[in-house]
Amino acid sequence: MTNTKSSSVRRLRRGFTLVELLVTVVLFGIIGAALTKLLTTQGRFYDKMGMAHAARNVSRGSLNRVVSDFRMIEATGGVISASSSAITVRIPFAIGVVCTGNGGWTHISMLPVDSVMYNAPGFYGYAWRNPNTSAYTYQDNANSNPGSIAVCDGVAITTVPPAGQPAANGLVVKLQPALPAGATLGTPVFLYRMIRYEFKNSTAVPGKLGLFRTVILQGGGENSEEIVAPFAATSGFKFFVVGNSTTAQVNPPATLSDMRGIELHLDGVSENRVAGNASNEAAPFTTAVFFKNRIF
């Protein structure tokens, strides 16, 4: 009778013993620690990948803008000043040919050009190509006004309008000072802006470098914008020169007209560090631009 009653009591017992509870807590602690470590590792890996992607975007973000400008530089007179951190250049944005002088101005029949690029502020001057030497002569601080198609028609130069537009929409400008007598009918002329690219302290990401593009205006004014940031301290410019065109040198040549290209070091970094890392994620990036408008 007693044995039967004891068996019933044991079968009806509910809950855990203290030992069982302690074992369970220990097991959950081990599993929880493992999961926490796994989640922390995955989180840091995700942050690392995200910041590495951001660093690559910094390197690539300025590439199209810089390369499209630098490829248009005329080799013998396009570079005004240069250092490892800054370069000032004349950037052509429209090209045409001489029609004739008229009232102290020279009329130029322009080839079709992107209207947004053409109408951007910052016209600084013009350059004309000497037909005898093939060298360009630059005229800074020039004036440019709309010209007359009739003037160019009068010397049998047809102004080409943009695709799909009537001939009357062709672009003719008149320049002052007037081109010299050596700039005869049909002489190539291009209009340019004065642009400075430089790496300096960023305003968007304090404590880091930013790449700035500054349009230098006539009269000494400037219109500056920070293209992208942040960059590593290793970012900057190197230079290809005549006679050593396959290897870029750190310093610009003493004679800037000997420059034939620029090596760009756009070493982007992330804005923040991954937890536990001593430094920001970096994306070293190097590319080269050789001037298209060169005689040799």
Q: Which residues contact 259 (CB under 8 A, 6 or more apart)?
A: 75, 79, 82, 239, 240, 241, 252, 253, 291
Indicate if the pLDDT at residue 244 is higher than 80: no
pLDDT for 268 equals 85
Query: Which amino acid would we find at residue 52?
Result: A
The closest alpha carbon to 193, from 260, 121, 262, 143, belongs to 121
Tens-digit pLDDT profile for residues 147-192:
989 999 999 898 888 777 777 778 999 999 999 888 889 999 999 9
Q: Which residues contact 294 (CB under 8 A, 6 or more apart)?
A: 74, 75, 76, 260
Indicate if the pLDDT at residue 7 is higher than 70: no
pLDDT for 23 equals 75
Spans of all domains in the chain: 52-87+200-290, 89-193
* Mean pLDDT over each residue of the chain, to the nearest integer: 84
pTM of the prediction? 0.79
Query: Which amino acid would we find at residue 186?
Result: G
Percent of the chain with pLDDT over 70: 84
Q: Which residue has the higher pLDDT, 15 or 131?
A: 131
In this prediction, residue 126 has a pLDDT band, given cuts at 50, 70 and 90, of: very high
> What is the average per-residue pLDDT within 129-138?
87
Indicate if the pLDDT at residue 13 is higher than 70: no
pLDDT for 220 equals 85
Tens-digit pLDDT profile for residues 76-123:
889 999 999 999 999 999 999 999 876 789 999 999 988 888 888 899
- Cβ-contact 128, 188 below 8 angstroms: yes
